[in-house]
């Protein structure tokens, strides 16, 4: 079991470019696992699969998961073009969401055979890393039964609001896509969609809750440490 994770912070990068990059990594890990099975069948020593974690920010973009409804995008193509917002239908779970500057987008491309083969535990660990990071800034957060992501005022049906969304793909226990954590995010961009298909809950950000802009590099560092501690991995730059 390889507990090393290759970490990269790509800064701001176009969504399609990041998607292509993580797909390339994902495909290479799946191919390695397929090769290892053949080696095992022939009594040949297998190689370790790699794990990757990418942090980045995207220019304004809406992404629609494979179970999402196109009607949850409340803009037409002309309006998207006028506002310089891109739109992608993608192969993760979940509905529609927004990515943009000031938001930490995380793409863990893990072989869960190196950790644990439990996708629900995987999602809960990512949520917990965000919860612990928010706690370091004095923000209390948690979960809502039946809904993925991290929420504030999670016990209040009226006031509850999402600060981190999750949407993943997993094949042969290899993950891709991941989470979007609102730090200094422009929340007005969420008004053009039904976020995650949920029309009775608001979204928020750390900046909105604390009333000031955060040092996003500092938040990333704290989040990375919390992920490493929960998954018990060593960070390789």
**Helix (H) or strand (E) run with residue 210 in it:** helix 206-210
170 catalytic per annotation? no
Distance of alpha carbon 97 from alpha carbon 89, whole angstroms: 11
**Among candidates 99, 84, 81, which has minimal Cα distance to 196?**
99
β-bridge mates for residue 27, sequence order: none
The SS3 of residue 196 is: helix
Rounded to 5 degrees, φ, ψ at 235 are -90, 125
Distance of alpha carbon 117 from alpha carbon 33, whole angstroms: 14
Given CA atoms 52, 54, 216, 63 in this order, what sign does their dihedral have?
Answer: negative
Please list the active-site residues.
Answer: 196
């Amino acid at each position: 079991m390889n507990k090393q994770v290759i970490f990269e912070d790509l800064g701001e990068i176009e969504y399609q470019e990041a998607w292509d990059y993580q797909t390339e990594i994902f495909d290479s890990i799946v191919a390695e696992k397929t090769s290892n099975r053949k080696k095992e069948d022939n009594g040949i020593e297998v190689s370790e699969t790699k794990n990757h974690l990418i942090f980045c920010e995207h220019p304004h973009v809406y992404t629609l998961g494979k179970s999402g409804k196109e009607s949850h995008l409340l803009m037409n193509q002309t309006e998207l073009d006028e506002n310089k917002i891109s739109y992608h239908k993608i192969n993760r779970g979940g509905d529609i969401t927004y990515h943009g500057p000031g938001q930490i987008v995380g793409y863990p491309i893990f072989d869960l055979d190196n950790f644990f083969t439990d996708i629900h535990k995987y999602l809960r660990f990512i949520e917990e890393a965000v919860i612990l990071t928010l706690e370091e800034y004095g923000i209390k957060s948690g979960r809502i039964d039946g809904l993925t992501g991290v929420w504030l005022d999670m016990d209040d049906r009226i006031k509850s609001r999402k600060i981190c969304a999750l949407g993943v793909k997993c094949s042969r226990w290899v993950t891709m896509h991941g989470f979007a954590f609102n730090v200094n995010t422009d929340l007005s961009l969420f008004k053009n969609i039904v976020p995650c298909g949920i029309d009775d809950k608001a979204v928020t950000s750390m900046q909105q809750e604390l009333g000031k802009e955060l040092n996003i590099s500092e938040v990333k560092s704290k989040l990375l440490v919390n992920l490493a501690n929960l998954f018990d991995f060593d960070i390789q730059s």
